[in-house]
Amino acid sequence: MAITTDMKLYYYLSRYQFMNSTSLYDNHGRPINYLRLAVTDRCNLRCFYCMPEEGIKYLPKKELLTFEEIERLIAIVASLGISKIRLTGGEPFVRTDLMALIKKIKQVDGIEELHLTTNGILTAPYIPELKSLGIGSINLSLDTLDRDRFFKITRRDEFVSTWKTFELLMKHGIPVKINAVVMEGKNIEDLIPMVELTRNYPISVRFIEEMPFNGEGNHYPVLTWTYKKIVAHLEEHFGKLVRMSDPNNSTAYHYQVPGYVGNIGVIAAFSRTFCGTCNRIRVTAQGVLKTCLYDDGVLNIKTLFRAGASDDEVIRELMNAFSHRAKDGFEAEAKRTLHPAIESMSTIGG
């Protein structure tokens, strides 16, 4: 790829910004300091909103980033100003020796926060060690509190395992966000009971608009359960919710039932109202960089690594990708080579 004068200027300007303020910016002036990294595309559930009932065709292990490649990638992006990492999947604990990788990442200079998203089925035995390692938080995927509905949504009878993980996370004082995808005809009756969890637990229950990333496409002609309808539904039961201040670069609008310990987050993942402050990038398990959830991949980092690219060459390619980032999810979707956007979230990285 030919490097233009503008690209060189942007690269060195960003390096100057890094040396002076540890900051990295895209072409729209948005900071980039958060990497969501999928360690596997495999999962032990078959969730309705994530993949077809028969599952997806998983990649051979050789097609995934190795742990050594992951460590190299994280060291590179940390040198540019990425300070927060979230490990995702698939289900991260399906990958062997995940804890060894976590220990390595915790030692990388510049990484200040390490978080994890999991469905909780295999997580319980590792919770004490995660606590001792200083894991920042756990996002626990849990769409219902009813065992039968859990089975219908996930096509696996694993509610007891997930709930055990939740209880152990509470016992060990690890910050928890529960991620619940809101699905018409699937779990609407769970919204109120899940908010009730915040009465006594210091957690954030986050309701997420359903997206088309399920290997099939949109399940509904029109998305009825938008973030606005979710809030309206909750207020019909609890009365006026307290609007809380949202953290910088938050994807969620935060609310609280007066007097409750925890809070509620509502994520407009399909409506895409938070793109203007997005600070995150994604790397899939196969090493593909996504500067937006809705693009179809803008750079294959694994290919660069395995072709013998130096760190400086990888940085140059990364900076080029950051300097051509879509302004929002709608623009990213419109620029896709592969249409429509129907790949499984397990392939993308949750």
Q: Give the model's pLDDT for residue 179.
A: 97
Quote the pLDDT of residue 20: 41
Q: How much is the average pLDDT of 123-132?
A: 98
> Exposed, middle or buried: residue 92 (CB in 10 Å: 0-12, 13-18, 19+)?
buried
If you average pLDDT over every residue of the chain, what do you get?
90
Stretch 259-263: mean pLDDT = 98
pLDDT at 192 over 70: yes
Please return the burial class of 26, using the count of CB atoms within 10 Å of its CB with bins 0-12, 13-18 and 19+. buried
Asked if pLDDT for residue 342 goes beyond 70, the answer is: no
Q: What is the mean pLDDT of residues 104-121?
A: 97
User: Residue 22 above 80 pLDDT?
Assistant: no
User: Alpha-carbon torsion 262, 266, 214, 285, what sign?
Assistant: negative
Rounded CA separation 283/39 (Å): 9
- So what's the pLDDT on residue 28? 96
Which domains, from first to last, does the chain contain? 5-176+274-348 (3.20.20.70)
- Taking the C-alpha atoms of residue 86 and residue 141, their distance in angstroms, rounded to an integer, is 14
**Least confident span in 16-25, 206-215, 238-247, 329-338:** 16-25
For residues 119-145, average pLDDT: 98
pLDDT digits 0-9 by tens, 33-74: 999 999 999 999 999 888 777 666 677 889 999 999 999 999
Full-model pTM: 0.89
Question: What confidence score (pLDDT) does residue 350 get?
Answer: 66
Q: What is the pLDDT of residues 297-337, one digit of tens each?
A: 999 999 999 999 999 999 999 999 999 999 999 999 999 88
Higher pLDDT, 148 or 48: 148
Average pLDDT for residues 102-106, to the nearest whole number?
Answer: 97
